Amino acid sequence: MTQAQPELTCPSARCEPGATLIGILRADGQIANLRTPLQIDADFVAQAHRQGNPEARMRFAAPCQKASCEQWTGQGCGVVKKVLAHLAPEPGGALQPCVIRDSCRWYAERRRPACHACRFVVTDQAALAAE
């Protein structure tokens, strides 16, 4: 009897009802992971949009959409691959806490280097560039 693979989670999802808030952008431009995930609803989404694009200030997680996502390469997530191509090798030490690591698409594909890269990913870079 084979065990079903768990559904993997996208750590850079859109701010939509049902998504999970997993991180907040710090003043230094890096993401600080939350220690407790926050499932968001339509009211949260509406309030978050009143203050600008939430994906430029917060990180959300949702089920990985694979081929339905424009970042899907056919074999994995293109986001983490691109970010890792621009980072120096990671330093040693403990990984920062993460509420989705067990189901994270990036971690499943790249393991420890993905966790190193994760803090540098802001989902909506265009909003940041416009500021």
Task: Label residue 125 by pLDDT band (50, 70, 90).
Answer: low
CA dihedral sign of residues 7, 24, 123, 115: negative
**pLDDT tens, position by position, 58-86:** 999 999 989 888 888 888 888 888 888 88
The DSSP output letter for 122 is -
* Boundaries of every domain in the chain: 9-130
How much is the CA Rg of the chain, to the nearest whole Å?
15
- 21-25, 97-101, 116-120, 124-128, range with the lowest pLDDT: 124-128
Amino acid identity of residue 122, one-letter, is V
User: What pTM did the predictor assign?
Assistant: 0.85
